[in-house]
Structure 1
Amino acid sequence: MTSLLDDEAAERMFLQLHNLRIIASAAACGSATAAGHLLFKSASTITRGIGEVEQAIGLTLFERGPAGFIPNLYGRILVERIRRIRDEMDLVEGEFVRAKTKGSRVSTGALSYLLHSGRKLLLLIHLADKRNFADAAGQLKVTQSGASMALGRIEDSLGVRLFFRGMQGLTPTDEASKLILHAKRMRAELRHAASELSSVAGSLVGTTIIGTLPMARTDILPRAIGRCLARYPNIQVQTVEAPGAVLISQLRSGEIDAVLSVPGPGFEPAGLLVEPLFRDELVVVASPTHPLAGRRGLTLAEIATWKCILPRRHSVSRTMFERACDDEGIKPPKAAVETADLLLMRLLLADREMLALTSLSYVQYELTAGILSRIDVRMTPIERDVALLRRDAMTLSPAATSLIDEIRATTCPPA
């Protein structure tokens, strides 16, 4: 059996969580009988479990023979991912055990059973993401009442509430948030496993998910994606555009492989790898027909008298600009519009009365094409470091690694 594995194959593996420990035990023990003794299961159950996983992904994982079950290359790759999944299970079990010593009444036996049920974990993940039973049930193709009853059974077996029900929908409890964080990481391991197994089969495929702030969407990321897809046409790239805090949260949970961001004040790097890529500059731009276009040596005070399009309040860029104004001893201009949307910015700048503060890399194409004009302002350059963020403990798939390599190449200055 050989196949190219996709995201659906990764989801099928996640639904096989109960059988993945059989795979790991058979690989460690070398026979169905020994693995059965370890897991208190019959040899036929072990053999059937291995077959179900192989059928789900369309790959043979073991060589069968007189010597027993010997994992082939596919099997060894999957066993390593299973080991990492086991690490996530150990972490969440440890967290709940520590909570139990402080008075929590969570059933550790029920928790272990839950962690090996992909379908139940998917229900919790979708409930946390959608915040209502109807949408979560739709994701799992079950009825709303079925999803509600399933959650009730999970909570009863664990002995702890996982979601608060209210007028605004469902809100995960602290216990649920911890559990779902690790469940998402387990799911990510299998997404990467699918790409890794397919690359061994001869074709680099798989989905890579990149989070990005606006400054990388118009030049860096499109060029990197284009180069990556030219080399590996079977890769699928998904981009996530959201505030930095949301992107980093999804990076920590494994939902995103990497984030192009500007780490600002309050950024907490614990558990993350921070790789500086380049320095970006904030610039003032306007329509080429703006009265200030072409003038030299303008001051911030002169800029502040015009209607301004500024980054959102409390963003890294806005904070740096306001600090530069303070250093010049002038009051920062009031934002007529707060946005990071390039199309909206271009349309607003058609009004000859407006200026915009934005990232140079974000509008580089518009400046080169003459669509916008850079306003010459006499001030200390406002620069910030753009970095590639990854989760320290994550081993990325070949698909994700290939795109990250192209991002590095795109941002690296020519030799």
Structure 2
Amino acid sequence: MTAPPLPNLRHLAGIVAIAEGGTMSAAAECLNLSQPALAQGLAKAETSLGAALFLRNAKGMQPTEAGRIFAARLVRGFDFLRMAGPLAQRDHLDRLLTLNQMQSLIAAVDHGGMRAAAVRMGRAASSISRACRELEAQTGALFDHHRPTRQAEELARVFKLALNEFRQGQEDVLGLQGVAGGRLAIGCLPLVQAMILPEALNRFAPEFPAVAPQVVDGDYDSLVRGLWRGDLDMLVGALRPEGLPDQLVQMRLFSDELLVVARPGHPLSGRDTVRLADLSAYPWIAPRVGAPARGYFEAMQAVLNPAPELPLPIETGAHSVMRGLLMGSDRLTVTSRLQVQRDIAQGLMVPIAYALSGSGRDIGVTHVEGWLPSVPQARFLEILRQVVGELT
């Protein structure tokens, strides 16, 4: 079941006002809307969702279960939307916006300009341009030579977070009717790519066939930007002890450690003890810059004093490339135990008996502060914890 198009913002605000005021008349007065207009908007929303949001009785209008769930999500969405006013230095900007303006600015920011957004959305460029220029008249300059400004990016972020809540509210109501849907967008760092995330998704999919999970990999900084902007719901992988952007929080799942690995049959494999001098006789594969293992690798290289005839390290963050390099050479690398656990079990790699003291790091989930997971998202987190418990 696909969520219907969103009602306009005035009608969404009306649903919140009815839930808070308890009567149609109080809500209409609060929003400066006529009761017939408000009633018509509510009726359209209920029809599109296939569920009554309020029960009418002598005491007024009482939210149904669907109404309570939907209104709670709308409140969260409008909380995000109210952040737009201070960003644009315009009081009550949230009351002046339209869905078309919000969606047009998001598209222009995501695609680098109004013309590119129109092409990607299959809409006329004049339509996107008109909506963005209307918004500029209320907020000030949002484009510089047709490129989005920093202010445009900040506004698009809060618009996207608000729309995510509005759409999830629809999905929550549809979920009451038997099919839980919505978004599950996961940023995936290398440490969980090989085992944890695939296993969790394989268990999740049969329980929620109406959800199409999206997994995005990449470097930490780009994934954090996607999370902060509302493009991702969570980021799974190594946590950062410092430098976390504002409004993001981390949740620890377990601790992992680093180890030195090589191909089966490597001259150092099978030894009970390996010394630092032994490691210096072989070429290396370097974790990519920014990876948690990179700092440890660089500290090791600083004291290894490798032979000058050895080739320089090859840098890669791709697990398959790293594995292929190891299999075809006598190179060594420093990597996460969890990342290569399956490769070791399958005989594709072997651990080298050199202890890497102090290499433990926390693995977990990063998300936006105040995030309220949907039913599928919350269940995915439960499954993720189960998988972690079994594998670690």
TM-score (norm 1): 0.84
Shift of 1:299: 2.8
1:152 aligns with 2:152: no
Which residue in 2 is equivalent to 1:104? none
Asked if 2 retains the 8 angstrom alpha-carbon contact of 1:284 and 1:358, the reply is yes
Which residue in 1 is equivalent to 2:385? 408
Q: Judging changes above 3 Å, is the alpha-carbon distance between structure 1 residues 320 and 17 closer, same or farther for their aligned structure 2 residues? A: farther
Shift of 1:111: 5.7
1:123 aligns with 2:109: no
Corresponding letter in the other structure for 2:114: F
Counterparts of residues 174-323 of structure 1 (less than 5 Å): 174-264=150-240, 266-268=242-244, 270-323=246-299
Q: Judging changes above 3 Å, is the alpha-carbon distance between structure 1 residues 379 and 280 closer, same or farther for their aligned structure 2 residues? A: closer
Q: Judging changes above 3 Å, is the alpha-carbon distance between structure 1 residues 149 and 86 closer, same or farther for their aligned structure 2 residues? A: closer
Residues 25-83 of structure 1, C-alpha deviations (whole Å, 9 max, x = no match): 22233343332222222211111111222233333322345554332111111111111
Asked if 2 retains the 8 angstrom alpha-carbon contact of 1:54 and 1:60, the reply is yes
**Mapped partners of 2:154, 2:251: distance in 1:** 27
Partner-residue secondary structure (3-state), 2:85: helix
1:84 aligns with 2:76: yes
**Mapped partners of 2:42, 2:267: distance in 1:** 72
Residues 71-105 of structure 1, C-alpha deviations (whole Å, 9 max, x = no match): 211111111111112211223323444xxxxxxxx
Corresponding letter in the other structure for 2:360: E
1:387 aligns with 2:370: no
**Mapped partners of 1:281, 1:72: distance in 2:** 50
Which residue in 1 is equivalent to 2:32? 40
Residues 355-408 of structure 1, C-alpha deviations (whole Å, 9 max, x = no match): 232222112111101122222224425221112222221111011000011111
Q: Judging changes above 3 Å, is the alpha-carbon distance between structure 1 residues 379 and 185 closer, same or farther for their aligned structure 2 residues? A: closer
Q: Judging changes above 3 Å, is the alpha-carbon distance between structure 1 residues 334 and 69 closer, same or farther for their aligned structure 2 residues? A: farther
Q: Judging changes above 3 Å, is the alpha-carbon distance between structure 1 residues 46 and 307 closer, same or farther for their aligned structure 2 residues? A: same
Corresponding letter in the other structure for 1:78: F
**Mapped partners of 1:122, 1:391: distance in 2:** 21
Asked if 2 retains the 8 angstrom alpha-carbon contact of 1:278 and 1:387, the reply is yes
**Mapped partners of 1:176, 1:112: distance in 2:** 18
Shift of 1:130: 1.3
Q: Of the candidates 118, 137, 141, which is equivalent to residue 161 of structure 1?
A: 141
Asked if 1 retains the 8 angstrom alpha-carbon contact of 2:235 and 2:366, the reply is yes
| Unmatched segments (≥5 aa) in structure 2 | none
Corresponding letter in the other structure for 1:158: Q
Identity %: 26
Asked if 2 retains the 8 angstrom alpha-carbon contact of 1:244 and 1:261, the reply is no
**Mapped partners of 2:391, 2:216: distance in 1:** 28
TM-score (norm 2): 0.89
**Mapped partners of 1:230, 1:302: distance in 2:** 49
Shift of 1:302: 3.0
Asked if 2 retains the 8 angstrom alpha-carbon contact of 1:206 and 1:235, the reply is yes
**Mapped partners of 2:333, 2:167: distance in 1:** 41
| Unmatched segments (≥5 aa) in structure 1 | 98-106
**Mapped partners of 2:163, 2:197: distance in 1:** 25
Which stretch shows the higher mean deviation, 215-224 or 235-244? Answer: 235-244
Partner-residue secondary structure (3-state), 1:211: strand
1:351 aligns with 2:335: no
1:112 aligns with 2:95: yes
Partner-residue secondary structure (3-state), 1:338: strand
1:330 aligns with 2:304: yes
Asked if 2 retains the 8 angstrom alpha-carbon contact of 1:289 and 1:352, the reply is no
Q: Judging changes above 3 Å, is the alpha-carbon distance between structure 1 residues 362 and 130 closer, same or farther for their aligned structure 2 residues? A: same
RMSD between superposed Cα atoms in Å: 2.7
**Mapped partners of 1:96, 1:132: distance in 2:** 19
**Mapped partners of 1:408, 1:366: distance in 2:** 22
Q: Of the candidates 65, 80, 87, which is equivalent to residue 73 of structure 1?
A: 65
Partner-residue secondary structure (3-state), 2:267: coil
Q: Judging changes above 3 Å, is the alpha-carbon distance between structure 1 residues 159 and 202 closer, same or farther for their aligned structure 2 residues? A: closer
Asked if 1 retains the 8 angstrom alpha-carbon contact of 2:81 and 2:94, the reply is no
Residues 209-256 of structure 1, C-alpha deviations (whole Å, 9 max, x = no match): 221201101101111112222333333321121221222233233332
Asked if 2 retains the 8 angstrom alpha-carbon contact of 1:321 and 1:382, the reply is no
**Mapped partners of 2:20, 2:161: distance in 1:** 24
Which stretch shows the higher mean deviation, 329-338 or 195-204? Answer: 329-338
**Mapped partners of 1:181, 1:82: distance in 2:** 17
**Mapped partners of 2:253, 2:100: distance in 1:** 40
**Mapped partners of 1:251, 1:360: distance in 2:** 26
**Mapped partners of 2:384, 2:111: distance in 1:** 32
